[in-house]
Structure 1
Amino acid sequence: MKHNIMYFSSVSDLSSGASHSLVKLVSLVQKAGHNVLVILTEHGPIEEKLREENISYHVVKQCSWNVWMKNIADKKDLEYRLKYPLRKAVNRLAVQKIAQLAREYQIDIIHMNTLTSFVGAEVAKKENIKLVWHMREFMEEDLGIEFCYPDKAVALVNQADATIAISKAIDDKFSSAFAVNHHEVIYNGVSIEDYFIDKTPFTAEPIQLLSSGRIMPGKGQKDLLLALASLPEKVRNRFACDMIGTVESQEYFDELMSIKDKYHLDNVHFHGFQKDTKAFFEKADVLCVCSKKEAFGRITVEGMLSGSLVIGTNSGGTKEIIDDGKTGYLYTPGNADELSAILLAVVENLEQAQTIAKAGQKKAGQTFSDTANANAVLSLYERL
């Protein structure tokens, strides 16, 4: 059966795995013969990707920040309360505009891409449209955010006909919080042909380390710097480290630079946001995913597919992807000494590191394809 599906993106940039996952999913659903329409909250880089895939979209201003979600540390102060009615008014207008689009396109399924936006769910409730809600984040644990009004948020999510968790860890957290009868775990998928690199790591020195992700406390880059700092100087000098990603916390970035200067980590280089990261993955021997708690860990799969040895944290979705000592390595988040010990073990047995990297590449290719992900989502649509 052909469906008319409206997807809601919570952001319009391409700095998060959620955005990339959305574009790939929508593209494959469209290629499967369904009609798709993406709703964006504002103009941004994701539009170029949607146009490349010939995906229809509309930009409709919506306000989720300080209406639906907020930083944990932020208070509902006077400024918050003064701006709240205006944000609510913007959202009421958005619901009207999007509901009109839903009727025009005869939408029969609304798919929310993350828990961090909600206007689409209001439209689904208003227009009596099937609602699928993708849960791609822990919120408090990984992004440092929370619902502004938890009771209202739970009530709205409970309107969903189905929820999709991108890992068992996410499902474990929210399956008890939300009373949605139909909840599934569907791992994220990535394009195998886009990320597979035919290479043999650890064939030259310095050994190239890579950290890829937004520069913020939850991503844990501090672990890697401290791990390098604690290595014996002769071992440390056998590594070179590239760090790529947008600086989202200037305070945290300043702390990283302070550590780099204090321990004379001249072999660590920050490169900022990179639109095309392939060159970094091609030369990387090791990808370090130091996040405190990844909801899934798309970057982990990308690193495994690239042929790099992936070292990740023993938490969240990452520990569901990596088999410790077989397809990668795991360490306790925040424990730089553990990470340092793994780096030392890699240096002492490069042949074993190569073997583990190859096993990781094989597992990623067999388990986390974008086609498998899209087929699972389409199967859910059919059951609804």
Structure 2
Amino acid sequence: MKVLLVASYPGVSGASKSLITLAEGLKNRGLEVDVLLPGKGQIEGILVEKNINYFVIKHYPWVTNIADANSYKVKLKWFVKKLIIRFNEFRLSRLINEYKYDVIHINALTSDQGANIALKKNIKLVWHVREFLEEGILKTFYNPTKSYKKVNLADAVIGVSDSISEYYSSNIPGIQRIYNGIDVTETTDVKDREKSGTAKLLFINRLVPGKGLEDVLKAAEILKKEKVDFSLNIYGNGSKEYLSKLRRCIDSNNLDENIKFKGFTKDISFAWENADIGIVSSNKEAFGRVTVEGMLYKTFIVGANSGGTKEIIKDQYGMLYNVGSPESLANKLKLIINNKAKREETVKKAYIYAKINFSEDKYINNVLKIYNKILIKSKGF
């Protein structure tokens, strides 16, 4: 079986990590797998490192910021981008003809690259939905009616959580849930980690508004005022403008001794193993890769009570706070900082739960079942 995995973003994100996991797992099961990128970016180095073949053909997302949806200037730019997309589809069509793929699998709802060709050439099309467009990443389709119509022409649509499947159930009735898979190297037990009197907090995610980092900084301000001894390491990339805004907030509240920006890191194990508590503050996380990573690295998770975060934690395998409320987050952090026994007990349960429910093998096998099902169906069996 030959599969083309279509990335929606050439950088490193949760969605791109899941794509790499899938590509590697399918290759290990004997499938021929290529990856299509919409531009050059950090993901290329990882693909080369893992010996995964890839192509780069320029493409643009078919979504825009909600705030810009009615802008004449944005619509004009989209018209020009569509002309470029149409031209590049000729290149992509020749590539697909040459490699004769059985399945084209688009990695996120924000891209439709390859969909038109798959539908025209009767190649099996699978579409992954990894985001809450409006509520999670504050985006919307340029043309929602046409976009959903195209998505529904896919042979299978996969949502990464029950929350996602429910959210899109009216617009994509056939969507089915497959959890992402995440495996990590064995990590030190929470009891064996270096102890200090300072509670070590961790935020690791893309630094964009929808991830709720401003609420985390406001919660940190509350902890500081209440004389809680803590540090917060922040890992991830973001725009200069947004980082400047966050730094101003830190400086104005005298938090510079407590909070450190660490930038992007490939070595997430070091980040997790030097943390007591991980914070997942996204307004509406589709799945919650960071949540599961934290569980597997035996780190207590405090997460926003919404989307995939709520679905995974269930207030059994971590602690939930009211999304958008720094006061609620600060209160939950204080509770768990002062209860080490509860932290250690919960971390053990969460680790077992994550190992059973979110393994890479389970993820890849479930996707492979979908491929086999749609290919068998096409042959009339």
Indicate the TM-score class for this superposition, using the shorter chain for normalisation: over 0.9
Q: Deviations over 1:88-145 (max 9, x none)?
A: 2221222222222222111111100000110211111111111110000011111111
Q: 2:118 aligned to 124, 127, 131, which one?
A: 124
Q: Matched residue of 1:50: which SS?
A: helix
Relative distance call for 1:196 and 1:177 in structure 2 (3 A) is farther
Partner Cα distance (2:122, 2:354) in 1: 39
Partner Cα distance (1:176, 1:269) in 2: 43
Partner Cα distance (1:267, 1:38) in 2: 41
Partner Cα distance (1:370, 1:188) in 2: 7
Q: 1:191 aligned to 168, 175, 183, which one?
A: 183
Shift of 1:263: 2.8
Tell which deviates more after alignment, 73-82 or 20-29. Answer: 73-82
Q: 1:102 aligned to 93, 96, 100, which one?
A: 96
Q: Which residue of 2 aligns with 1:220?
A: 212
Shift of 1:234: 6.1
Q: Matched residue of 2:40: which SS?
A: coil
Matched, 1:58 2:55: yes
Partner Cα distance (1:92, 1:44) in 2: 22
Relative distance call for 1:148 and 1:249 in structure 2 (3 A) is farther
Superposition pairs of residues 318-333 of structure 1, within 5 angstroms = 318-324=309-315, 326-333=316-323
Matched, 1:211 2:211: no
8 A Cα contact 2:292 2:354, kept in partner: yes
Shift of 1:334: 1.1
Matched, 1:306 2:297: yes
Q: TM-score, normalised by structure 1?
A: 0.92
Q: Matched residue of 2:15: which SS?
A: helix
Partner Cα distance (1:184, 1:364) in 2: 20
8 A Cα contact 2:161 2:179, kept in partner: yes
Shift of 1:34: 0.8
Q: Which residue of 2 aligns with 1:8?
A: 6
Q: Matched residue of 1:307: which SS?
A: coil
Matched, 1:382 2:376: no
8 A Cα contact 1:202 1:350, kept in partner: no
Q: Which residue of 2 aligns with 1:229?
A: 221
Q: Which residue of 2 aligns with 1:371?
A: 361
Shift of 1:76: 4.7
Q: 2:32 aligned to 30, 35, 55, which one?
A: 35
Shift of 1:255: 4.0
Q: Deviations over 1:147-198 (max 9, x none)?
A: 001111011111111100000111011121124x4x31001111233x7444
Q: TM-score, normalised by structure 2?
A: 0.92
8 A Cα contact 1:197 1:305, kept in partner: no
Q: 1:143 aligned to 137, 143, 152, which one?
A: 137
One-letter identity of the residue aligned with 2:48: R
Q: Which residue of 2 aligns with 1:156?
A: 150
One-letter identity of the residue aligned with 1:339: L
Q: Deviations over 1:201-220 (max 9, x none)?
A: 68322111001112222111
Q: Matched residue of 1:192: which SS?
A: coil
8 A Cα contact 2:215 2:324, kept in partner: yes
One-letter identity of the residue aligned with 2:337: V
8 A Cα contact 1:202 1:354, kept in partner: no
Shift of 1:248: 3.3
RMSD, aligned CA: 1.9
Tell which deviates more after alignment, 40-49 or 147-156. Answer: 40-49
Q: Deviations over 1:257-286 (max 9, x none)?
A: 333233322211122222333222111000
Partner Cα distance (2:188, 2:293) in 1: 10
Matched, 1:337 2:335: no
One-letter identity of the residue aligned with 1:244: Y
Q: Which residue of 1 aligns with 2:379?
A: none
Q: Matched residue of 2:165: which SS?
A: helix
Identical pairs, percent: 38
One-letter identity of the residue aligned with 2:104: I
One-letter identity of the residue aligned with 1:330: L
One-letter identity of the residue aligned with 2:80: L
The number of aligned residues is 372
Partner Cα distance (2:79, 2:280) in 1: 40
Tell which deviates more after alignment, 277-286 or 368-377. Answer: 277-286
Tell which deviates more after alignment, 240-249 or 111-120. Answer: 240-249
Unaligned runs of 5+ in 1: none
Relative distance call for 1:284 and 1:158 in structure 2 (3 A) is same
Matched, 1:111 2:105: yes
Partner Cα distance (1:323, 1:125) in 2: 39
One-letter identity of the residue aligned with 1:157: V
Unaligned runs of 5+ in 2: 375-381
Shift of 1:228: 2.4
Shift of 1:36: 1.0
